[in-house]
Amino acid sequence: MRTGCQWRLLPHDFPAWQTVYYDYTKWQREGTWDRLWATLDAAVRQQAGRQAQPSAAILDAQTVKTTVSAAAVAASAAGTGEKKIMGRKRHLLVDTLGLPIALSVLPANVPERVVAWDLLEWAKANLPRLQVVWVDQGYTGELETQAEAAIGCRVEVVRRPAVSAAAAAGGPGGTATMGGGTEFWVVESISSFEQRLRVLGGE
């Protein structure tokens, strides 16, 4: 995982990389990986005392730099807002335990709210219990006002509280919280973990 696990660099105790690649892609086409992931997610949730399927989720995006030439990715910098980072943007949807539900990786100039429609439509189709998704202010607009009528899933934008003078000076500060006490840092902690892995920290 830390090196990207290139096919030709599989550990020696695996079969030939061509065999592993064939089986992997076959299971991917057949949906085996999706079914396995869903089964494991349900088991973890039930072990934690939750329903097998979530009724609430959190969506966030993270931009990562790319090592591709500037000419190839210059256009992708235009949509990153104030950050002006050339690269790709990962859109991650997780449940309130931090278990991934869906992931999309696209050029950084694709607006969050555009990608969110596809992710939420897929999630609602596969998770009928899903009722609400919390997002940050990058997803404001039609998604917030029309999602419930369009796909039967409510989208609530979390507006972070202003940082107090005490917090700015290093003291305790507020955390953006949502219904039921769920905190938005659940998805941000997952993104932070991904960023620490060399293969996911850039492109």
Distance CA 44, CA 50 (A): 9
User: pTM for the complete prediction?
Assistant: 0.70
Q: What is the pLDDT of residues 73-91, one digit of tens each?
A: 444 444 445 455 567 888 8
Using an 8 Å Cβ cutoff, are 71 and 87 in contact? no
Q: What is the pLDDT of residues 152-164, one digit of tens each?
A: 999 988 876 554 4
Distance CA 190, CA 96 (A): 12
**Residue 86: predicted pLDDT:** 65
**Residue 160: predicted pLDDT:** 64
**Residue 189: predicted pLDDT:** 56
Low-confidence residues of the chain: pLDDT under 50: 1, 70-71, 73-80, 82, 163-181, 193, 196-202
The separation between CA 71 and the C-alpha centre of its own chain, rounded to angstroms, equals 27
Q: 133: which residues sit within 8 A by CB, 6+ positions away? A: 56, 57, 58, 59, 93, 120, 123, 147, 153, 154, 155, 156
* 143, HSE (Cβ side, Cα atoms, 13 Å): 24
**Residue 11: predicted pLDDT:** 85
Q: Structural domains in the chain?
A: 52-196 (3.30.420)
**Residue 33: predicted pLDDT:** 92
**Residue 85: predicted pLDDT:** 55
**Residue 183: predicted pLDDT:** 55
